[in-house]
Structure 1
């Protein structure tokens, strides 16, 4: 199988490298030449692609891009890869996008005779590099069946059903996680008012119902005012915004999450968008 891979940044790069390490022929496109070079260095079966049109001979094309509009541009532009792919090809979308965008892509793919699969990613670049990334897969069932031997090369497949479910799992995860982080930030501010140092409060809370993934991972960074961008605040803002819009589109009102969205927006507007999402603390 000849594979195309568009977007080899923090998340896409490890997955593309896993495919190359497995001996798959992978045509790699990214606007950053340095990221292409790093990906091609994983093995001898990688091929540099100069444009989206260089995906013309690929049977399956993966996209892993930062924003829904980037995916839309790559696929739907008159010079995009949908116009280049042969009927019977497959588009596997790895990005964190909203269901509305995913359905738009799926409908346009169908018009070109291309099958659409949403395969949203669940964890970190480190997990992706080790092929331990959770994959939330939904969409064209026949295409998914054709790719069943390919998915384990890049991660841990979870077949969740339709496109909506594949998009929603990651958005729900980030909605809950980022809202938890905002609540943790508020709690640490309360502790400061009570005269408690952040490290002391985190230690005391670790054996209570307040404990969470965000407390375990980002609590120590918050205690040290360490905002190095492991997951940038602006990306968190994008995911929370998309998740809230998804909920509203389905007639729900995620009030706590909308409040968290406001805090991330405030932190971004204050100039902290390039820092880790823990910098929401600065907006509390």
Structure 2
């Protein structure tokens, strides 16, 4: 059993913290909306804290999973932030999808306190979080990673150290870039098949056994053809992630023309009222121009 804290109980953090409790760890949670933290305690036990600092006090490992860079700074830094409650030799594992820049910033601040920092963004969506089957891409020190990995395993099917601090976030950017382009191609293919009068169930069954196969095809192609998007990874979140990717590309010189185009397509989905639709809703633009 490890004494841990979990900061941020959104659609990802709530079940992730639950898996830590189910694995036998002693979990204290913090959420900006206190009622959600109390709800978590009612379901999973453990304790709720009034501030990130209080949640982190006495914890060997602190997890965070919040919205963006600024949210992350607000719960980690400052007098009531997690670092203020963490002892020397402890570890902060951040599962937020954020920038590599803020990961390095927080690692430097943690280093001044003798606290190790691991950026560990996740892939697998809400379903992966609920099923304890997330892929975790980590950046940080090998020694800290080796200590944290057995605990992270509670909500993951794969946990990999990608390199130094920031490498986890950079790997997640690669993930999101690939998904964006893939979903646009899948949307165009599915719409083309429908307009050609094909039996799309048969089409999906056949091409998913060949070179076009992907997780998105297997899990989203059918619902895309049905025009169903009220679930899954929200367009608002994807635009946040793609914004991070495009900013990093500006810094490192990578060319992302398709990613930039798909980001604008998602802006059009938002304008149609699809802010909370699944990212597969690119199909809505293609099929309803």
Query: Does TM-score exceed 0.5, indicating one fold?
Result: yes
CA distance in 2, matches of 1:194, 1:173: 31
Question: 1:83 maps to what in 2?
Answer: 84
Question: 1:259 maps to what in 2?
Answer: 261
Question: 2:217 maps to what in 1?
Answer: 215
Q: Pick the aligned partner of 1:187 from 186, 189, 201.
A: 189
* Paired residues of 2:227 and 2:284 also in contact (CA < 8 A): no
* Paired residues of 1:21 and 1:42 also in contact (CA < 8 A): no
Q: Deviations over 1:128-155 (max 9, x none)?
A: 3343322222202332233243232332
* Paired residues of 2:229 and 2:278 also in contact (CA < 8 A): yes
Question: 1:51 maps to what in 2?
Answer: 51
* Paired residues of 1:27 and 1:48 also in contact (CA < 8 A): yes
1:48 is displaced (CA, Å) by 0.9
Question: 2:243 maps to what in 1?
Answer: 241
* Paired residues of 1:229 and 1:277 also in contact (CA < 8 A): no
* Paired residues of 1:2 and 1:59 also in contact (CA < 8 A): yes
1:84 is displaced (CA, Å) by 2.9
SS at match of 1:142: helix
Q: Deviations over 1:72-91 (max 9, x none)?
A: 21112443222332232211
* Paired residues of 2:191 and 2:225 also in contact (CA < 8 A): no
Question: 2:232 maps to what in 1?
Answer: 230
1:196 is displaced (CA, Å) by 5.4
* Runs of 4+ residues deviating >6 angstroms: none
SS at match of 2:253: coil
SS at match of 1:163: coil
CA distance in 2, matches of 1:131, 1:12: 11
Q: Give unmatched runs, 5+ long, in structure 1.
A: none
Question: 1:25 maps to what in 2?
Answer: 26
1:202 is displaced (CA, Å) by 4.5
1:177 is displaced (CA, Å) by 1.1
Question: 1:131 maps to what in 2?
Answer: 132
Q: In 2 relative to 1, CA 235–196 (structure 1 residues): closer, same or farther, beyond 3 Å?
A: same
CA distance in 2, matches of 1:249, 1:270: 32
CA distance in 1, matches of 2:146, 2:190: 48
Aligned runs of 1:152-163 on 2, under 5 Å? 152-155=153-156, 156-163=158-165
1:282 is displaced (CA, Å) by 3.0
Q: How many residue pairs are counted as aligned between the two chains? A: 283
CA distance in 2, matches of 1:197, 1:22: 45
Q: In 2 relative to 1, CA 100–225 (structure 1 residues): closer, same or farther, beyond 3 Å?
A: same
Q: Deviations over 1:40-68 (max 9, x none)?
A: 24544x11111122123323210011222
CA distance in 1, matches of 2:136, 2:276: 26
* Paired residues of 1:175 and 1:239 also in contact (CA < 8 A): no
* Paired residues of 2:139 and 2:164 also in contact (CA < 8 A): yes
Q: In 2 relative to 1, CA 204–149 (structure 1 residues): closer, same or farther, beyond 3 Å?
A: closer
CA distance in 1, matches of 2:208, 2:58: 54
